[in-house]
Every structure is written in structure tokens, then in C-alpha cells.
Amino acid sequence: MEGIWYVIGFAVAGVSFVFLTIGASWLISHRTKGSPLKGLPYESGIPTYGDTHGRFGVSYYIYALLFVAFDIEVVFIFLWALVVRDPIPGVLASMGIFIAVLLLGLAYAWRKGVLTWR
């Protein structure tokens, strides 16, 4: 029952962190003192232009997806490497199957033309 206080404390700390940082930046920022340019969210010396809702290409997201797949693979290979020295039959084969299935995903992406930059 005592453990619940850790949960509550953690929740309070998490929520107050958000408000503390926003409040602190509100307190110590020098909002409209001096040049109005200094009050802009991105201060670079010249007035910002354009819409904040501008569109920009995210065609790299598929590379990111492929990266994640192989990133997770490393997590599994690391654990596998710890036990691979034990003489359990099929240890090598199981990792081979796992990597083969992942590579098939890469082949699929390749075949679908994902790897060509457009």
C-alpha cells in the first residue's frame, strides 16, 4: 500500500515538471523589452516570415521505418549473442530465420521502390 505513494509522487513530479518549465521560461524571458524582434519564438535578428503551418517533405520517414526495424533487430541479436556459445542446437538457425524474415522486409521495400529517392 506504501507503494502507491511512489506512484502518486511520480505523477505529481511529472505534471509539475511541465508547468515548472513553462512557468520558469515565462518568468525569465524578456518578452517585449527592447526590440520586438527579440520577443519572437525564433530569434535571428530579422523578422520571420511565412506560415507556421507550412508543409515540408517527409519522404525520409520510410527510411526511418526501415531503420527502426533493423534497430530492434540489434536488441535481439545482443541477447542472442550472450547465449550463442552454449551448445543448444538450432541457436544459429533461429537467428538465421529471424534475420532472413527481416531481410525479406527490406527486399519488399526495395522491390516497391521505397529505396529510390524522389
In whole angstroms, the minimum distance from the beta carbon of 108 to another protein comes to: 6
Q: Residue 38 in contact with residue 30, Cβ under 8 Å?
A: yes
Residues 110 and 107: their CA atoms lie apart, in Å, by 5
Q: Which CA distances in Å does 79 have to 75, 83, 95, 105? A: 7, 7, 11, 22
In whole angstroms, the minimum distance from the beta carbon of 100 to another protein comes to: 9
Q: Identify which of residues 15 and 107 has a Cβ nearer to another protein in the complex.
A: 107
Which stretch, 2-10, 23-31, 33-41, 45-53, contacts another protein (CB under 8 A)? 2-10
Residues 118 and 110: their CA atoms lie apart, in Å, by 14
Residue numbers 52-111 binding another protein by CB under 8 A:
88-90, 101, 104, 107-108, 111
Asked whether position 3 contacts another protein by CB under 8 A, the answer is: yes
